[in-house]
């Protein structure tokens, strides 16, 4: 792969921009453990996974597909064209937002959506197969939400959530896969599908209201305690296995 092709594939701009970055001395490669500036855009490079390079002083590693986790903060929208709140995509560096794709949308995209006031684990990717595998209700990827309620949660309400409640737009009952109490106003609710405002509507259906909502895990992947709101990181191979995904 030529160096300018590699930069283009990683989202550093059009091919012309990528050629210019190299010719201006903005790209450094690691050779025999030493970083050296490369000014040949057509240099053939062996781009293996995690192959290191630098662009304008920032360290990067080559990845054919992007798989990320983001700790979504409150007051952000999972949309490229937000209506009232900042977009989660502003939390990502430009190359991740510009990675080229064959489809109509460039860059990584969120795997499902969280409401603007909901916090927690959000996956993003430019891998269509991964997005479908994680988002499709047919695959039943469990998602755990930490639900803080306005009123105390009763045993009867928890039983109804497990038995199934009917939402106004769906005649089929929607059930929680698990519901665990962690206090009078706090339950961990596990769902295997993702309908519009599902947690809030399920709590409303049993006579309660959500005060705060946080997604803490998907599959066996838990939001790391050291990943602060607004921060992101690449998913590791062990993370992907925890999600039940094999690239």
Residue 32 pLDDT grade (very low, low, confident, very high; cuts 50, 70, 90): confident
Between 48 and 169, the more confident residue is: 48
Residue 104, pLDDT > 70, answer no
Tell whether 77 and 124 lie within a shared domain.
yes
Tell whether 119 and 7 lie within a shared domain.
no
- Cα distances (Å, whole numbers) of residue 224 to 104, 108, 121, 216, 218: 32, 21, 9, 9, 12
CATH number of the domain within which 132 lies: 3.30.70.580
- Domain membership flag for residue 149: yes
- Domain membership flag for residue 45: yes
Residue 70 pLDDT grade (very low, low, confident, very high; cuts 50, 70, 90): very high
Tokens of 34: 């030493």
Tell whether 118 and 229 lie within a shared domain.
yes
- Cα distances (Å, whole numbers) of residue 123 to 71, 87, 144, 196, 222: 9, 15, 14, 17, 12
Tell whether 50 and 76 lie within a shared domain.
no
Q: What is the pLDDT of residue 169?
A: 72
Each residue of 105-127: pLDDT tens digit?
589 999 999 999 999 999 999 99
Each residue of 197-206: pLDDT tens digit?
999 999 999 9
DSSP string computed for 1-16? -BHHHHHHHTTS--HH
Q: How many domains does the chain have?
A: 3
- Domain membership flag for residue 247: no
- Domain membership flag for residue 133: yes
Tell whether 113 and 230 lie within a shared domain.
yes
Each residue of 170-200: pLDDT tens digit?
788 999 999 999 999 999 999 998 888 999 9
Tell whether 14 and 78 lie within a shared domain.
no
Query: Residue 35 belongs to what domain range?
Result: 3-61
* Residues recognised as catalytic: 115
Each residue of 198-227: pLDDT tens digit?
999 999 999 999 999 999 999 999 999 999
Nearest-10 crossing angle of helices 155-163, 198-205: 120
Q: What is the mean pLDDT of residues 136-144?
A: 88
Q: What percent of the chain has pLDDT over 70?
A: 98
DSSP string computed for 122-187? EEEES-HHHHHHHH-GGG---EEEEEEESSPPPHHHHHHHHH-EEETTEEEEE--SEEEESSTTEE
Q: What is the mean pLDDT of residues 8-36?
A: 95
Q: What is the pLDDT of residue 245?
A: 92
Residue 103 pLDDT grade (very low, low, confident, very high; cuts 50, 70, 90): low
């Amino acid at each position: 792969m030529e160096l300018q092709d590699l930069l283009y594939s990683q989202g550093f701009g059009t091919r012309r921009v990528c050629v210019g970055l190299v010719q201006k001395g903005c790209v450094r490669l690691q050779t025999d453990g030493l970083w050296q500036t490369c000014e040949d855009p057509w240099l053939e490079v062996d781009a293996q996974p995690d192959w290191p390079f630098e662009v304008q002083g920032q360290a990067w590693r080559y990845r054919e597909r992007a798989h990320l986790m983001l700790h979504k903060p409150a007051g952000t929208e999972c949309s490229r064209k937000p209506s009232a709140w900042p977009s989660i995509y502003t939390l990502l560096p430009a190359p991740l937002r510009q990675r080229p794709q064959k489809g109509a949308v460039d860059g990584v995209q969120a795997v499902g959506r969280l409401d603007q006031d909901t916090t927690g684990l959000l996956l993003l990717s430019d891998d269509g197969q991964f997005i479908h595998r994680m988002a499709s209700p047919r695959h039943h990827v469990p998602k755990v939400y930490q639900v803080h309620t306005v009123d105390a949660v009763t045993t009867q309400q928890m039983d109804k959530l497990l038995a199934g409640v009917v939402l106004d737009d769906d005649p089929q009952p929607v059930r929680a896969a698990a519901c665990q109490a962690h206090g009078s106003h706090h339950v961990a609710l596990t769902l295997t599908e993702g309908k519009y405002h599902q947690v809030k509507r399920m709590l409303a259906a049993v006579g309660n209201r959500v005060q705060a909502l946080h997604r803490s895990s998907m599959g066996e992947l838990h939001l790391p305690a050291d990943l602060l709101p607004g921060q992101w990181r690449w998913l590791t191979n062990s993370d992907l296995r925890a999600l039940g995904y094999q690239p």
